[in-house]
Chain A
Amino acid sequence: MTMESTMELDDLKQAWQALDRRLQQHNAINLQLLTESRVQKAKSSLRWLLAWSLVQVAFGLALTVFSAIFWTGHMDSIALMLSGIALHAYGVGLIIIGVMELLLILRIDYAAQVVTIQKHMTLLRQWRLRSQRWLGLSQWLLWIPVTLVMLDYWLGLDVWAHSPATVCWFLATGTTGLLATLWLMYWSPSALRKRVGDYLDDNSTGFVLKRAQRALDEIAHFERE
């Protein structure tokens, strides 16, 4: 009979406790506790995250106000009005996403029970990934209203009135880019999708979201007896 075949979890406690003693004596992990630079680094990374969410909310507010004023003043031109409304909707989206992120970040309390906080953090991760993905995808079309609004705002040039074909060409280009990206993300062969995911570090594909969902399922399973 081998050693492994008779091994029980309780037998391993002794070996584990011996490792614990060795770990405490070992100098490989030197807890340079509370060194100022380390604490500052942790503080600044959190501050950076909070600052980014605040900037996003502030930008969303400015965009919402600007575009609301813009489209209500251009109701005589359908293309400019629709462009303003699209930017208005994008601004509102940025505010919602930013506020949600702020609330989720501020609610993280590592001293809470493990299952509770892990669920909360996985939800935050899922929310961020989803929102980033949709914000990213929208860029394929968003540049069109931005271009139309800015040309009118700065140069007084209504592109749609001068050349509707140009706007149609913009729309065709944006839609093609969007469809191609969606194809890569959802419908392309899995090997290609994996390669794209690796290239983009998974952030723009569904892999990370699936992993977050798996983590949520795992937590739910763990909570059940």
Chain B
Amino acid sequence: MDATATMTADMQQAFGELLQQHRGIVFKVANTYARDAEDRADLAQEISVQLWRAWPGYDPARRFSTWMYRIALNVAISFLRSDGHRRRHAVPLDEVVHDLADDSAADHEADEQLRVLHRFIATLEPLNRALLLLYLDERSTREMAEVLGISESNVTTKIGRLKQRIRDHVAPPGNA
């Protein structure tokens, strides 16, 4: 039987509140792994459904954000890997910056930085994308290790490599 069917109204409300509080995680993961607005909406919906399904098994002793990141990243990576057909018709990932561009915003430099970042993210393998996302979100090394299932020293090593990769990525030709 589906465990969500037996959830009490209090449990549903608690879930709704926590999800609202941490909804930024869903948006960030969807924007990191999806390619266009339609995909982003689909992925965000899929993540929220899977969170709902997994909610009866959530252990309140553990951090909600860690639990949420695990589910969101697992759903997103599976979405990306099973998306063979769409992959052949991929559009640039930095479209998200364009979609969200605020015409009134004076900070074009920030937009340009985001475009560079999204172009870089698009070059990363799914697991490194997850690591970068957690790093940009200022998660602790321990939490990153817990979410991903690798050691803390491995996280540190990989962050160092990612830093070098982005330096190489943005360096003008000849300086790389």
Contact = CB atoms under 8 A, between A and B. Distances in A.
A30 B37 CA distance: 11
Contact of A201 (B53, B84, B109): B84
A163 interface: no
A93 to B, nearest CB: 25
* Chain A interface bracket (under 10, 10 to 19, 20 to 34, 35 or more): 35 or more
Contacts of A42: 46, 49-50, 53
A3 B97 contact: no
A42 B147 CA distance: 24
Interface string A199-211: 0011000001001
A120 B138 CA distance: 28
Is chain B's interface secondary structure helix, strand, loop, or mixed overall?
helix
A118 B74 contact: yes
A202 B149 CA distance: 31
B31 A23 contact: yes
B48 A31 contact: yes
Interface in B151-171: 151, 153-154, 157-158, 162-163, 166-167, 170-171
B81 A215 contact: yes
Contact of A9 (B57, B81, B107, B163): B163
Given A15-B110, A23-B24, A32 B138 contact: no
Contacts of A26: 100
A162 B138 CA distance: 78
A211 B110 contact: no
Contacts of B40: 28-29
A110 B45 contact: no
Contacts of A14: 110
Interface in B9-29: 12, 16, 19, 23-24, 26-28
Q: Interface of chain A, helix or strand or loop or mixed?
A: helix
A8 interface: yes
Nearest to A115: B149
Contact of B171 (A5, A13, A208, A218): A5
A161 B57 CA distance: 62
B102 A211 contact: no
B113 A33 contact: no
A191 B76 CA distance: 31
A12 B112 CA distance: 10
B24 A3 contact: no
B108 to A, nearest CB: 11
Given A111-B70, A111-B71, A225-B157, A22 B100 contact: yes
Contacts of B149: 112-116
A26 B114 CA distance: 16
B128 A222 contact: yes
A135 B112 CA distance: 51
A18 interface: yes
Contacts of A113: 70, 146-149
B98 to A, nearest CB: 12
A38 B74 contact: no
A15 B114 contact: yes
Contact of A110 (B48, B74, B84): B74
Contacts of A20: 24, 27-28, 137
A20 B99 CA distance: 13
B138 to A, nearest CB: 7
Ranked nearest first, the 3 interchain pairs of A and B with the lowest CB-CB distance are A113-B149, A115-B149, A15-B113
28 contacts: A7-B166, A11-B113, A12-B114, A12-B166, A16-B114, A18-B114, A20-B137, A22-B102, A24-B24, A28-B37, A28-B41, A28-B100, A31-B45, A33-B19, A33-B52, A34-B49, A42-B50, A111-B57, A111-B67, A112-B70, A113-B148, A114-B73, A114-B74, A114-B147, A118-B127, A121-B78, A215-B81, A225-B157
